[in-house]
């Protein structure tokens, strides 16, 4: 790739700044949580079509059976109707009805590698700050949807995806191969990637790139190959007992609350493993119906994690044994519903090194190495499929902290942490990420061998 093309990409990214900010703020204002991203996804599909992409949506890119953590049907329908009144694209909206919110844009030009890029698009079930110091509130683009907001940068990811789509469309005649832009629903709770993998979306991908905007470091700081993601399984657990009068006939009941409480205590008592870290957490417990009624039902919202998939699965199996035993102790039964899940994965070192080499041509970049995180990310599902098929994958961290560099600073109180209502990003990261990712994709397609 010559300097002329590098400079052209830089010019195109600079020219796209205003549109990138507009898109990010529009998605931010109309935040939609997992499996309800009807407006977001349909407008992405509409834009890709206008840029000349072959566009797939709905069942073509999401396996209905592989979805996890799907909201109730009435919630899905009400959000679908809401999207109709918020300028969603009516054609693509129809294909997404019922929670099939994935979109894939494909740009082909001759024989060459298939380079895939993934962008998550969902928001969080979280109330956005109304404080006047919060920029989205002050400048009028805070979420208009109650208790839903973009607090993890996915609004930026979606905008960057559209920015890359626009730049690659401009460069189409100069590439050889296929660009595949994957817009994924329901990343939060690690619910959506598996559905797209099951639909075969990444089966033909040779080189797969993900990215995530990162708090704690500024625009221009990147992590070429993030990894060390924990495997995780999310579950909703229900204990079914029998009600009875707490004073008159307590012996006639089967106390689901006690079964759940016993399970909680013993889940936390599970031994850890010498081969790596494991985690268990019960984030919510709900039980009972009245002061003088033996509780007949109780629910737990829980998760397990492991340093690798095997450890996570082992933790899950032991958790199931605890849950079933706790239910039996109190004459109850139990049921477990899978609400999310993802395996572990690491970025390919060779591809990450190649990304760093390409990115080093952009002035002012600082590179970091990401240590094991303990957190989870369902992009690993796509990474694992591509790697199993003989391809390579990497996930790139891109600095976007609103207050600049705090990554190696012990004083981090100014960092607007993700998954909080006050989260925000430096919007300068949008054009930077668009330039960076487009430069990488163009280079990979011109010189596809990664060694």
Give 192-233 pLDDT, tens digit per residue: 999 999 999 999 999 999 999 998 889 999 999 998 899 999
Domain coverage including residue 126 = 3-229+345-446
> Would you write out the chain's pLDDT as a tens digit for each of its 451 residues?
456 889 999 999 999 999 999 999 999 999 999 999 999 999 999 999 999 999 999 999 999 999 999 999 999 999 999 999 999 999 999 999 999 999 999 999 999 999 999 999 999 999 999 999 999 999 999 999 999 999 999 999 999 999 999 999 999 998 899 999 999 999 999 999 999 999 999 999 999 999 999 988 899 999 999 988 999 999 999 999 999 999 999 999 999 999 999 999 999 999 988 889 999 999 999 999 999 999 999 999 999 999 999 999 999 999 999 999 999 999 999 999 999 999 999 999 999 999 999 999 999 999 998 766 668 899 999 999 999 999 999 999 999 998 766 545 555 566 788 999 999 999 999 999 999 999 999 999 986 666 6
Summarised one tens digit per residue, pLDDT across range 297-311 is: 999 999 999 999 999
Of 325, 342, 359, the residue at which a domain comes to its end is: 342
Show the tokens assigned to 405: 């560099």
What is the dihedral sign for C-alpha 3, 6, 8, 10? negative
Counted domains in the chain:
2
Strand pairing of 103-109 and 392-399? unpaired
Of 322, 342, 362, the residue at which a domain comes to its end is: 342
- Tell me the CATH number at 391: 3.40.630.10
With 0-12 / 13-18 / 19 or more C-beta atoms within 10 angstroms meaning exposed / middle / buried, residue 111 is: exposed
Of 285, 312, 342, the residue at which a domain comes to its end is: 342
Inside any domain, residue 451: no
**What's this model's pTM, rounded to 2 decimal places?**
0.94
- 154-170 and 17-29 helices, crossing angle to 10°: 140
């Amino acid at each position: 790739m010559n300097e002329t093309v590098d400079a052209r990409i830089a010019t195109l990214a600079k020219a796209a700044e205003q549109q990138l900010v507009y898109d990010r703020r529009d998605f931010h204002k109309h935040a939609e949580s997992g499996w309800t991203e009807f407006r977001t996804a349909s407008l992405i599909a509409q834009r890709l079509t206008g840029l000349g992409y072959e566009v797939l949506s709905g069942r073509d890119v999401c396996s209905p059976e592989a979805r996890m953590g799907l909201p109730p049907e009435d919630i899905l329908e009400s959000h679908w109707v809401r999207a109709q009144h918020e300028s969603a694209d009516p054609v693509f909206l129809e294909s997404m009805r019922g929670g099939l919110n994935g979109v894939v844009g494909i740009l082909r030009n001759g024989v060459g590698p298939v380079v895939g890029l993934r962008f998550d698009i969902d928001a969080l079930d979280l109330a956005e700050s109304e404080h006047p110091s919060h920029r989205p509130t002050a400048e009028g683009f805070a979420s208009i949807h109650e208790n839903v907001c973009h607090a993890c940068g996915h609004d930026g990811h979606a905008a960057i995806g559209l920015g890359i789509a626009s730049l690659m469309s401009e460069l189409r005649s100069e590439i050889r191969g296929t660009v595949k832009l994957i817009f994924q629903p329901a990343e939060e709770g690690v619910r959506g990637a598996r559905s797209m993998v099951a639909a075969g979306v990444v089966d033909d991908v040779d080189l797969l790139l993900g990215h995530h905007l990162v708090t704690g470091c500024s625009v221009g700081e990147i992590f070429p190959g993030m990894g060390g993601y924990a495997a995780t399984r999310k579950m909703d657990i229900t204990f079914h007992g029998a009600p009875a009068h707490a004073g008159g006939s307590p012996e006639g009941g089967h106390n689901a609350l006690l079964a759940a409480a016993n399970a909680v205590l013993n889940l936390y008592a599970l031994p850890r493993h010498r081969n790596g870290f494991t985690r268990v957490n019960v984030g919510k417990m709900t039980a009972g119906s009245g002061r003088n009624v033996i509780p007949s039902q109780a629910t737990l919202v829980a998760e397990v994690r492991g340093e690798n998939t095997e450890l996570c699965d082992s933790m899950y199996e032991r958790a199931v044994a605890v849950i079933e035993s706790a239910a039996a102790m109190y004459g109850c039964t139990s049921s477990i519903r899978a609400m999310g899940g993802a395996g572990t994965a690491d970025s390919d070192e060779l591809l990450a090194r190649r990304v760093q080499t390409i990115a080093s041509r952009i002035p002012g970049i600082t590179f970091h190495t990401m240590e094991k995180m303990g957190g989870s990310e369902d992009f690993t599902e796509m990474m694992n499929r591509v790697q199993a098929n003989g391809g390579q994958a990497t996930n790139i961290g891109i600095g976007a902290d609103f207050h600049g560099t705090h990554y190696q600073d012990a004083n981090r109180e100014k960092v607007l942490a993700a998954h909080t209502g006050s989260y925000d990003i430096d919007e300068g990261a949008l054009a930077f990420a668009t330039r960076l990712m487009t430069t990488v994709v163009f280079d990979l397609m011109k010189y596809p061998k990664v060694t």
